[in-house]
Chain A
Amino acid sequence: MSDTSQSMLELINIHKTFNKGTINERPALRGVSLKLSPGDFCTIIGGNGAGKSTMLNAIAGVWPVDEGAIYIDSENITGYPEHKRAVLLGRVFQDPMTGTAATMQIDENLALAARRGNRRGLSWGITRTETEIYQELLRSLELGLEDRMTSKVGLLSGGQRQALTLLMATLKKPRLLLLDEHTAALDPKTAAKVLELTRQFVEKDSLTALMVTHNMKDAIRMGNRLIMMHEGQIIYDVSGEEKKNLHVSDLMEKFNAASEGTFANDRMLLS
């Protein structure tokens, strides 16, 4: 058994194959091991089908893994269902629609997130003191949402919803923040805004975070560590000074070496 006391996240030899035993069998994760220290902000890049989102889903518990073990803050969560892992995790998804409840108000969404992992009983779903806290937090987003607390979330734009989801994911400090291409569906200006908020939130609470992105510049600029995935494995892992000095061209080189030029389409997507 490896020492997990020093790490916030530890993945040990994770395997996952979809549609096992059918003609559509697809190995998605092939022995992924990863260790994150508290406060690590790790970006993940790789081509389509490399296993980036699959790895995040494995951690979040969207389905059980085939093999391997997952530890968060020394707790073995491999056998926990998705809703039970939620107490430890903050999640922001690629689709801005996924992270919020459209037919509920902004304050109601925040109140739901504030109770992540708590037993939900018959006390009132949102208190007055809470409302005031939310108003201040929303003001810090600088999107004008503080004046629309009782609006239905379905009326917000994709960027606003994603910023709100980010706020919800960090409202109750998570042990690990999972960001699954959370700016990919946004226009460049909004994406930059949400990314800046991400940086602020992670710094403010010294969160441990995993961020999947298709944007190599963002991957280099954000966080203190970068991993590249290919065909269900981590093929490149860089941190500290070495990461800071990376260039997109370095990553392209790594990527081409790994894929041996077979994924011309992915190269276009990544550039």
Chain B
Amino acid sequence: MSLLALDPLTLLKAMPGNIAQGIIWGIMAIGVYMTFRLLRFSDLTVDGSFTAGGATAVVLITSGVPAPIAMLAAFGAGILCGLCTGVLHTLFGIPDILAGILTQIAMYSVNLRIMGGKANQVVSVDKYTLVVTMRKIPMTIAVAGGICVALCLILYWFFGTELGSAIRATGTNPSMSKAQGINISVMKVLTLALSNGLVALSGAMLAQYQGFADVNMGRGAIVIGLAAVIIGEVIGEALLGKKLNFLGHLLFVAVGGILYYVVIGVVLWLKMPPNDLKLFTAAVVAVFLAVPYLRAKSRNSYKRAAKKGVQENE
């Protein structure tokens, strides 16, 4: 295969679609950011709640409910998923990762039930008025982008309130939070609920965008969410450095989602088999997680200390 066989025009044509999808996943990533970074809780519920959002929205829209209301209902479905994980963790003492996996697995069955026992459900843009759709990509970018920025602003406000500050404190220092009278169990459940609400909202948007909900649409969502969070942070810190405030963090997480899908667009254009996408995603996340660690380690390694010690004493 020669590189000359690649047509830059196809890449250019595919880009708007990638950006639209990236924004939708960016909203999902903001939900992941809330648990992963603010609460320091590795929440694997999202694979289930993302699908739950998509399934709920599609089933409601096809039964005649207006799309925006269906999206609100999807948000509610996500909240319930988060509550479930939160209760398993705080009330029953199940470790964070396991609590999330339990909800995620349970949601597979629940999602099938939501979709009336079928593995997927179609929602056609010809029959229903949808909020976002791949048929109208510029509109989708505008609407999804608007929703995304609005959510960032709302979250920026929320995490500045007394309640939001208490959540941030819970994530960074549980002992201190308890000593300051914060009920950390309540904070955890609340954050998980809100986070999964956002994830489900994103799922509801993706289902409309692609025209169907599928029981497997959320598989690996957590990895894509983490990819967006990490890519967004790296880029944000590289561009803004110390000027990157909390609002900037949120916006750059969404940007991370967009960049992720742009990269996916490029590797697909480079004729990587679509089946290898998940492998590629996992590798990207692993590299981005490993680089800061390895960098710190190389600055501070035994080997280097030994070498230096030898040189100085010879």
Of the candidate stretches A67-75, A100-108, A226-234, A257-265, the one touching chain B is A100-108
A157 interfacial contact with B, CB 8 Å: no
Give min CB distance, B36 to chain A, whole Å: 14
Closest partner residue, chain A, to B158 (CB atom):
A122
Chain A residues engaging chain B, CB cutoff 8 angstroms: 60, 81-84, 86-87, 89, 91, 93, 97-104, 108, 111-113, 115-118, 120-126, 168
| Cα separation A101 to B176 with both chains bound (whole Å) | 7
The interface centre, meaning the residue of A93, A112, A115 with most chain B CB atoms within 10 A of its CB, is A112
6 A-B contacts, Cβ less than 8 Å apart? A86-B182, A87-B181, A102-B173, A104-B168, A122-B158, A124-B162
Within B153-212, the residues touching A (CB, 8 Å) are 158, 160-166, 168-169, 171-173, 175-184
Interface residues in chain B, defined as those with a beta carbon under 8 Å from any beta carbon in chain A = 158, 160-166, 168-169, 171-173, 175-184
Q: Are B182 and A83 neighbours in the complex by a CB distance under 8 Å? A: yes
State which of A102, A121, A123 has its C-beta within 8 Å of the C-beta of B172: A102
Name the B residues within 8 Å of A102 (CB-CB): 172-173
Q: 8 smallest A-B Cβ distances: which pairs?
A: A86-B181, A125-B165, A120-B162, A103-B172, A117-B181, A101-B172, A101-B173, A82-B178
> Which residue from chain B places its CB closest to the CB of A152 in the assembled complex?
B172
B168, A101: Cβ atoms closer than 8 Å:
yes
Residue contact B172 to A104, C-beta cutoff 8 Å: yes
- In the docked arrangement, what's the CA distance between A86 and B176, Å? 10
B180 x A112 contact (CB < 8 A): yes
**Could you tell me if A124 and B160 are in contact, using CB atoms closer than 8 angstroms?**
yes
Smallest Cβ distance from A97 to chain B, in angstroms?
Answer: 8
Contacts A102-B173, A103-B172, A124-B160; A86 near B180 (Cβ below 8 A): yes
Knowing A104-B169, A120-B163, the reply to whether A98 touches B176 (Cβ < 8 A) is: yes
Smallest Cβ-Cβ distance to B168: which chain A residue: A104
Contact between chains at A99 and B176 (CB < 8 Å): yes
Chain A residues lying within 8 Å of B180, measured Cβ to Cβ, are 86, 112-113, 115-116, 168
Residues of A within 8 A of B171 (CB): 103
Q: Which A residues are CB-close (under 8 A) to B178?
A: 82-83, 86
Residues from chain B with a CB closer than 8 A to the CB of A103 are 168, 171-172
Chain B residue nearest to A115 in the complex (CB) = B162
Q: Is the CB of A112 within 8 A of B169?
A: yes
Q: Within the complex, what minimum Cβ distance (angstroms) separates B21 from chain A?
A: 32
State the Cβ distance, B66 to closest chain A Cβ, in Å. Answer: 28
Checking A87, A112, A168 against B166 with a beta-carbon cut-off of 8 angstroms, the contacting residue is A112
Contact of B181 among A84, A124, A125 (CB under 8 A): A84
- Chain A residue numbers with a CB within 8 Å of B183 are 81, 83
Residues of B within 8 A of A120 (CB): 161-163, 165-166, 182
Q: Assess the A123–B161 pair: CB atoms within 8 A.
A: yes
Asked if residues B184 and A122 are in contact (CB atoms below 8 Å), the reply is: no
**B181–A116 CB distance below 8 A:** yes
When chains A and B are docked, how far (Å) is the Cα of A123 from the Cα of B164? 10
Minimum CB–CB distance for B93 against chain A, Å: 14
The reply to whether B162 and A121 contact each other, CB–CB distance below 8 Å, is: yes
Would you give the shortest CB distance from A106 to chain B, in whole angstroms? 13
Q: Quote the shortest CB–CB distance from A102 to chain B (angstroms).
A: 6
Complex interface: chain A residues within 8 A of B162 (CB): 115, 118, 120-125
- Give complex CA distance A112, B182 in Å: 9
Q: Which residues of A lie under 8 Å from residue B164 when comparing CB positions?
A: 125
B179 with A91: CB separation less than 8 A: yes
Chain B nearest CB, measured from A154 CB (Å): 9
Cβ A121 vs Cβ B166 within 8 A: no
- A121 and B166 CA atoms in complex are apart in Å by 10
A121 touches B181 (CB 8 A): no
Residues of B within 8 A of A123 (CB): 161-162
Residues of B within 8 A of A83 (CB): 177-178, 181-184
- The complex places the Cα of A100 from the Cα of B168 at a distance, in Å, of 12
Q: Looking at the assembled complex, report how far the CB atom of B237 sits from the nearest CB atom of chain A, in whole angstroms.
A: 14
Complex Cα–Cα for A120 and B177 (A): 12
CA distance A91 to B173 in the complex (A): 14
Residues of B within 8 A of A125 (CB): 160-162, 164-165
Closest to A111 in B: B165
- Taken together as a complex, chains A and B put the C-alpha atoms of A103 and B165 apart, in Å, by 11
B182: chain A residues within 8 A (beta carbon) = 83, 86, 112, 120
CA separation between A222 and B161, bound complex, in Å? Answer: 39
Q: Is the CB of B173 within 8 A of A121?
A: no
Q: Please, which residues of chain B bring their CB within 8 A of the CB of A122?
A: 158, 161-163
CA distance A121 to B184 in the complex (A): 15
Contact at A60–B165, with CB atoms within 8 Å?
A: no
The minimal Cβ–Cβ distance linking A64 to chain B, given in whole angstroms, is 14
CB distance from A162 to the nearest CB of B (A): 13
Q: With the chains together, A89 CA to B180 CA distance in Å?
A: 9
Report Cα–Cα, A86/B163, bound state, in Å: 17
Q: Which of A81, A89, A101 contacts B169 (CB 8 A)?
A: A101
